[in-house]
Amino acid sequence: MEIVLLEPEIPHNTGCAARLAAATGVRLHLVEPLGFSLEDRYLKRAGLDYWPQVDLRVHPDWASASEELAAGSERAFGERLKLFSARGGRSLFETDFAADDLLLFGRESTGLPPELVESHADSRVYVPILPGVRSLNLANVVCLGLYTALQRSGQGLPANDGSYRAHPRAAEDVLPSEILRGRPGAPRG
């Protein structure tokens, strides 16, 4: 299972998703353009000292991301997509998930592009909310969506007895951009 943020705009939300990815061992994909720099102090702060544990990939556009993501499974790419949207689809709590699913989330301001939603209309997933509330915060939906998907797909949740042991690189002052150097998906230029 992998998290894909398509053109995220708010560094704090992306930092929270990165921290979640570190906590669950799930790969995080960011699809450009981003509304912030990978050098952003708010992004770093939201991810705290967990950046060395994040399996992060950055893609210049959706076409490039799709190509790499499609290569990650024997199942068809379109079958693996779960498009999170505030506008219809199937309730998160009634959706079937598989271990190789791709959880796709759109921009905070506009959501996923209409053409993407239309081409994968049967793959839409929403979190039930009361009328009069436009949407939930992206970081909250990513967290709720990932843990629910892990549980519903039969994958084990992280084994933890509540204790904490710092990662060996936790004391390093690592920017998100630094974990990409030498990796596929590294920023260009």
- Listed by start position, the domains of the chain span 2-157+165-180
Q: Is the pLDDT of residue 181 over 80?
A: no
Average pLDDT, integer, range 173-179: 79
Q: How confident is the model at residue 123 (pLDDT cuts 50, 70, 90)?
A: very high
Q: How confident is the model at residue 185 (pLDDT cuts 50, 70, 90)?
A: very low
Phi, psi for residue 105 in degrees, rounded to 5: -125, 140
Q: Token digits for 135?
A: 């949407």
pLDDT, tens digit (0-9, with 9 covering 90-100), for 66-112: 999 999 789 999 999 999 999 889 999 999 999 999 999 999 999 99
Instruction: Report the alpha-carbon distance of residue 23 to residue 164 in Å, rounded.
Output: 11
Q: Token digits for 97?
A: 């998930």
Instruction: Report the alpha-carbon distance of residue 89 to residue 132 in Å, rounded.
Output: 18
Give me the chain's average pLDDT, please.
90
List the end-to-end C-alpha distance of the chain, in Å, as a whole number. Answer: 30
Bond preceding residue 33 cis, omega within 30 of 0:
yes
Does the pTM exceed 0.75?
Answer: yes
DSSP string, 6-50: ES---HHHHHHHHHHHHHHT-EEEEESSPSS-TT-HHHHHHHGGG
**How many H-runs (helices) and E-runs (strands) does the chain carry?**
7, 7
Q: Token digits for 122?
A: 């049967």
Average pLDDT, integer, range 126-137: 94
pLDDT, tens digit (0-9, with 9 covering 90-100), for 139-158: 999 999 999 999 999 998 88
Q: Is the pLDDT of residue 40 over 50?
A: yes
Name the residue with higher pLDDT: 177 or 22.
22
Name the residue with higher pLDDT: 73 or 64.
64
pLDDT, tens digit (0-9, with 9 covering 90-100), for 156-174: 888 888 888 888 877 777 7
Written out in words, the top-level CATH class of the domain with range 2-157+165-180 is alpha beta
Cα–Cα distances (Å) from 43 to 10, 95, 102, 134, in that order, read: 8, 31, 23, 25
